[in-house]
C-alpha cells in the first residue's frame, strides 16, 4: 500500500504541471492577439450640437408620453450647448448643456453628431450624465441636477447607444428633456454634461 502512494503523487504533480503549462502558453497567445488589435486607435468625437428652443423662439412642452407641442410664450431658454475637449487630444468628447429659465412642463430636445474619428469600428456601451453611467436600457432617466435630491428632469435618449459605428461614419443622437412638476424649479438654470463610453466592435 505505501509503495502505491509514493508512485501516485509524482504522477499527479507531473499532470498538473503539464496542464498548467499548456494553459499558460494558450493564454499568452490570446493576450498577444488582443494587444495587436489594440494598437489601432479607438476614438470618437461629438459634433454639431443643436436644440429645439433657440433664442427668441416660443417654448415647447411635452406630456408624460412625449407628445410635443410648441406653445405661444417665450419664457424658457435659450439653451446653451458647449462642446468640451476634456482630455486635450484635439477633439470634443463632452457636451455641456445649460437649460435656462426652466419651469414644470418645459421641453427641450438636444441633438448632436457622434463621429468615429478613430481607426476601428466601435459600439457605445454607456452614456455618462454628470459622471453617472447609464446603459441604454432603460432609456428613460429621472435626474436631480441641482442637488436637492428631488428629480428635476425626465430624460429619454435615442436607442443609437449600442449600435455599431465604423471609422469616418457618424450618426445623430438625441435626448428628450422634460422639466418635472415642482414649483421650486421655476426660473432655475440646470446644467449637465453628456459623455459616451465605447468599445471596439468586432463581428
Separation in Å, CA 18 to CA 31, 54, 199: 20, 70, 36
Residue 59 interacting with Ca ion (CB under 5 A): yes
The least distance separating Ca ion from the CB of residue 157, rounded to whole angstroms, comes to 19
Separation in Å, CA 34 to CA 28, 60, 82: 10, 49, 36
Q: How many residues bind Ca ion (CB under 5 A)?
A: 16
Residue 43 interacting with Ca ion (CB under 5 A): yes
Question: Which segment (61-69, 106-114, 134-142, 147-155) binds Ca ion by CB under 5 A?
Answer: 147-155
Question: Which segment (17-25, 72-80, 127-135, 164-172) binds Ca ion by CB under 5 A?
Answer: 72-80
d(CA 140, CA 156): 4
Residue 150 interacting with Ca ion (CB under 5 A): yes
Residue 109 interacting with Ca ion (CB under 5 A): no
39 Cβ contact partners less than 8 Å away, ≥ 6 residues apart? none
**For binding to Ca ion (CB under 5 A), which residues are involved?**
43, 53, 59, 74, 76-77, 85, 87, 89, 91, 93, 144, 146, 148, 150, 152
Amino acid at each position: 500500500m505505501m509503495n502505491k502512494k509514493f508512485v501516485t503523487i509524482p504522477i499527479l504533480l507531473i499532470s498538473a504541471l503539464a496542464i498548467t503549462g499548456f494553459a499558460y502558453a494558450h493564454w499568452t497567445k490570446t493576450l498577444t492577439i488582443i494587444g495587436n488589435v489594440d494598437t489601432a486607435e479607438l476614438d470618437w468625437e461629438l459634433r454639431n450640437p443643436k436644440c429645439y428652443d433657440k433664442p427668441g423662439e416660443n417654448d415647447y412642452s411635452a406630456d408624460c408620453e412625449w407628445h410635443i407641442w410648441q406653445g405661444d410664450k417665450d419664457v424658457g431658454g435659450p439653451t446653451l450647448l458647449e462642446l468640451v475637449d476634456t482630455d486635450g487630444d484635439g477633439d470634443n468628447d463632452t457636451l455641456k448643456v445649460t437649460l435656462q429659465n426652466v419651469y414644470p412642463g418645459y421641453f427641450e430636445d438636444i441633438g448632436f453628431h457622434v463621429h468615429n474619428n478613430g481607426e476601428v469600428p466601435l459600439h457605445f456601451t454607456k452614456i455618462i450624465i454628470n459622471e453617472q453611467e447609464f446603459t441604454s436600457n432603460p432609456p428613460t432617466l429621472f435626474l436631480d441636477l441641482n442637488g436637492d435630491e428631488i428629480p428635476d428632469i425626465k430624460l429619454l435618449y435615442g436607442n443609437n447607444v449600442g449600435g455599431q459605428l465604423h471609422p469616418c461614419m457618424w450618426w445623430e443622437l438625441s435626448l428628450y428633456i422634460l422639466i418635472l412638476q415642482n414649483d421650486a424649479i421655476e426660473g432655475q438654470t440646470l446644467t449637465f454634461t453628456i459623455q459616451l463610453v465605447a468599445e471596439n466592435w468586432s463581428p
